Structure 1
Amino acid sequence: MPKPLDETRLKDLALAYVARFATTGAKLEAYLARKLRERGSVEGEPVPDVRRIVERMIELRYVDDEVYAKAKAGSLLRKGYGGRRVEQALREAGVDEDLREEMRPAESSARQAAYALASRRRFGPFATELPERDKREKQIAAMIRAGHGFDTARQIIEAETVEAVEQWVEEAEDEYE
């Protein structure tokens, strides 16, 4: 059975966690609280203050929600996920609403992400042959599940050529710069 936790052991767990994983203050706090529930605290000593340990990690800049949010949002966008999925992932990680709003992708980034997903999954004009209507509907549904809006998904899936999609992406870059 694992040893109960005192303040020092809990700080060591926090350091090991932030050294190994990119994280937010909320995720670190949940991890430490779970470890404390699982292992308990040393009898006769005060229960370690999880919140204070997390605040110290933030103060030392071992944990930075903004850096985490930028990295996570960028990673998801490069993989082809849309703004809704980015927002959902950041919410689940405990990133506050204002910071989530800041990380909302610009129109040009959202279009580039949609392009990346369609290209990788061979949707719409990226397929070897133009799909039938039922397959196009499934592709649109997959793009919506990936966090893209219906209009964005439809724009790509119903495009006649890859060049048309590229032009659509470039229009956003020109328009929103």
Structure 2
Amino acid sequence: MGHGHVRSVRPRKPLDAARLDELALAYVARFATSRAKLARYLARKIRESDWNDAADAMTSCDAAVAKMERLGFVDDQQYAAMRGAAMTRRGLGERRVRAQLRVDGIGEGDAGEAIENAKMAALTAALGFARRRRLGPYAGARASDPALRERQVAAFVRAGHSPSLARHILAIGPGDEAALAALDEAARLD
């Protein structure tokens, strides 16, 4: 085996603090992101490159993230609100929103309002989920098989909804507009 294959990975590009700032700026310009996600991206760039600066790489990484936050390009609270609202629109419940924000590295304080909003939108999100999956009031026919009903409850729970809310929605038969309206009314008083 010849020595030509040892560096078959492309040569590592030199990277310094100034270039790291440029990468950070380009990233926040393209994606709505959290502090943690930006830091993860920059850390990966540092690992893939040849660090070439008097300043420490990780210190420079933290500084670049702090700078983007200072400039208002990274705002964890705003990111959490946007991410939570998008998930609610997709029919996902508060538990899923909470879990996703944790994955995105959003702190409790910054996540609070988004989680509160997801809680308040619980019914709307769950009904959206039911509509998408054609369950309960949106099904072609009432699911009478208990095993099927439990699988449907489990699907709601995986989407972040409470089992009791799932059962409430699944108890409504297809086309029962009155029951749907009553559920809606109850949620408004919540």
- TM-score w.r.t. the length of structure 2 is 0.85
Q: CA-to-partner distance for each residue in 1:95-119, whole Å, 9 max, x for gaps?
A: 1112222222365410000000001
Q: State how far apart, in whole Å, the 2-side matches of 1:33 and 1:72 are.
A: 23
* Alignment check: 8 A CA contact 1:81 1:146 kept: yes
- State whether structure 2 residue 68 is matched by structure 1 residue 57: yes
- Cα separation, 2, equivalents of 1:20 and 1:14: 10
Task: Map 1:19-168; keep pairs closer than 5 Å.
Answer: 19-42=29-52, 45-48=54-57, 49-104=60-115, 105=117, 107-131=119-143, 132-160=145-173, 161-168=176-183
Secondary structure of the 2:15 match is coil
**Cα distance in structure 1, aligned partners of 2:82 and 2:171:** 32
Report the CA distance between 1:25 and its aligned residue. Answer: 0.7
Q: 1:136 to 1:16 in 2, by over 3 A?
A: same
On the 8 A contact 2:126/2:166 being kept in 1, the answer is yes
Shift of 1:46: 2.7
User: What letter matches 2:139 in structure 1?
Assistant: A
Q: CA deviation at 1:58?
A: 0.2
- Whether contact under 8 Å (1:107, 1:172) holds in the other structure is no
Which structure's CA Rg is the greater one? Answer: 2
What amino acid does structure 1 have at the position aligned with 2:184? V
5+ residue gaps, structure 1: none
The one-letter code sitting in structure 1 at the alignment partner of 2:128 is A
**CA RMSD, aligned part only?**
1.6
* Identity within the alignment, %: 41
Partners of 2:94 and 2:119 within 8 A in 1: no
Q: What TM-score results when the alignment is normalised by the length of structure 1?
A: 0.91
Q: 3-state SS of the aligned residue for 2:14?
A: coil
Report how many aligned residue pairs link the two structures: 174
TM-superposed CA distance for 1:166, in Å, is 3.5
Residues of 1 paired with 2:178 and 2:119: CA distance? 19
5+ residue gaps, structure 2: 1-10
Q: Which runs of 4+ in 1 moved over 6 A?
A: none
Higher mean Cα deviation, 155-164 or 71-80?
A: 155-164
